[in-house]
């Protein structure tokens, strides 16, 4: 039996119950007013998953007006245990016309500080995604597109 955390990790396969939601990038009002011509017809396909108190995960794919995926991201936000309030991990970027991916991976750790009103950022690391991470993200893109049909 799998736990909620299995699908909550970055790049993990989506659970069978995951629902893809479609939302226009530009509001109908902006499109009607001619203020969003460059992005008229673009859509965000998103999967938002909650692991309850364990955290959140959001996978998003942006499609241009032809239905071609042009950007993608996978992020997770989860509790790291005391004194870590939460950890945010993300890989996001642009899908190039040739199918390659240009993006960044980052991880931020927020820590509770006694007496402080807000948590403190203790670590933020940005890096180039590995070929394996890009392959995993692109597999998620294919899965989101398949489920959105």
Residue 147 CB partners (closer than 8 Å, separation 6+): 14, 18, 19, 20, 47
Per-residue pLDDT tens over the stretch 82-140: 777 888 999 999 999 999 999 999 999 888 888 888 888 877 889 999 999 999 999 99
Q: Which two tokens stand for residue 13?
A: 């396969």
pTM: 0.86
Separation CA 83–CA 60 (nearest Å)? 30
Per-residue pLDDT tens over the stretch 31-76: 888 888 888 899 999 999 987 777 899 999 999 999 999 999 999 9
Q: Which two tokens stand for residue 90?
A: 């993300």
**What does 5-59 look like in DSSP terms, one character per residue?**
GGGTSTTPPPPTT---EEEESS-HHHHHTTS-GGGTT-EEEEEEEE-GGGEEEEE
Separation CA 131–CA 58 (nearest Å)? 21
Q: Which residue has the tokens 């109908």?
A: 28
Whether the ω angle into residue 85 lies within 30 degrees of 0, i.e. cis, is no
Cα 67 → chain centroid: 19
């Amino acid at each position: 039996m799998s736990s909620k955390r299995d699908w909550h990790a970055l790049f993990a396969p989506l659970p069978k119950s995951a629902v893809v939601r479609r939302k226009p990038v530009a509001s109908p009002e902006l499109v009607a007013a001619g203020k969003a011509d460059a992005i008229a017809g673009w859509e965000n396909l998103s999967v938002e998953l909650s692991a309850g108190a364990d955290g959140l995960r959001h996978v998003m794919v942006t499609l241009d007006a032809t239905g071609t995926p042009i950007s993608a991201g996978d992020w997770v936000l989860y509790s790291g245990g005391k004194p870590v309030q939460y950890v945010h991990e993300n890989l996001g970027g642009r899908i190039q016309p040739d199918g390659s991916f240009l993006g960044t991976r980052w991880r931020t750790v927020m820590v509770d500080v006694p007496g402080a009103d807000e948590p403190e950022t203790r670590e933020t690391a940005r890096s180039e995604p590995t070929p394996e991470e890009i392959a995993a993200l692109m597999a998620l893109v294919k899965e989101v597109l398949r489920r959105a049909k």
